[in-house]
């Protein structure tokens, strides 16, 4: 075992941003949905992870994001205000998902997840994704969003920034490593799409 492995994990956690949730009890969705036939490259520019604009702390903690995983026929999105971006031998993002969330099984069962960021005018959509359950409604439709394939990954046409991640490492949190009951996922950033 590489002895620098533990140091690398500590370094990325220390250098990345771990943010507490600012909303109570984010809900999530899991409904069979229609995907839009969408030309990603006509509407988004592909940029390097190092070119992600703005303050990532602000983006995650106060602007929020949607974590999404699944397939073209069945995907799931949830609002989150904690996570981070750093470097662990390659550009990485990390998220935490509670094991009781419906999102958990989607992230577990798929190799990719996306982080979608939006303009402030989409705050009501993020509130809906954060407070309503997809068991009761098609949240994507109700929120006025459109699911698209990022090939690989699923995101939203209305996003201003989409980060596509391939799962790389995961571990359960513990009582001494809050928030307890969550699974921590690190994903290699394989693509970043910025709205034109």
Residue spans per domain, the chain: 4-195
Instruction: Examine residue 116 and say whether the peptide bond preceding it is cis (omega within 30 degrees of 0).
Output: no
In 19-111, alpha helices (H): 40-43, 56-58, 102-109
Residues in the chain: 196
Lowest mean pLDDT among 12-26, 90-104, 159-173: 12-26
- Chain centroid to Cα 195, Å, comes to 17
Is the pLDDT score of 17 beyond 70? no
Give the model's pLDDT for residue 8.
41
Third-level CATH fold of 4-195: Pnp Oxidase; Chain A (2.30.110)
Average pLDDT over residues 117-135: 90
Q: Give the pLDDT confidence score for residue 5 in this predicted structure.
A: 38
Give this prediction's pTM.
0.83
| pLDDT tens digit sequence for 27-80 | 454 445 556 678 999 999 999 999 999 999 999 999 999 999 999 888 989 999
Cis before 152? omega within 30: yes
């Amino acid at each position: 075992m590489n002895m620098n492995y533990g140091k690398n994990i500590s370094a990325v956690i220390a250098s990345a941003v771990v943010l507490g949730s600012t909303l109570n009890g984010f809900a999530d969705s899991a409904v069979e949905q229609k995907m839009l036939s969408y030309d990603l490259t006509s509407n988004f520019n592909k940029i390097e992870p190092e070119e992600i604009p703005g303050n990532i702390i602000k983006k995650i903690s106060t602007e929020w994001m949607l974590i999404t995983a699944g397939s073209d026929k069945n995907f799931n999105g949830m609002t989150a205000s904690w996570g981070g971006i750093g470097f662990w031998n390659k550009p990485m993002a990390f998220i935490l998902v509670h094991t009781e969330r419906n999102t958990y099984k989607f992230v577990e069962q798929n190799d990719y997840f996306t982080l979608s960021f939006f303009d402030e005018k989409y705050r009501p959509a993020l509130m809906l994704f954060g407070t309503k359950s997809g068991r009761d409604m098609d949240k994507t439709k109700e929120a006025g969003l459109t699911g698209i394939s990022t090939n690989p990954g699923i995101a939203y046409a209305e996003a201003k920034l989409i980060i596509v991640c391939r799962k790389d490492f995961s571990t359960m949190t513990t009582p001494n490593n809050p928030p307890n009951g969550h699974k921590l996922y690190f994903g290699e950033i394989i693509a970043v799409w910025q709205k034109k």
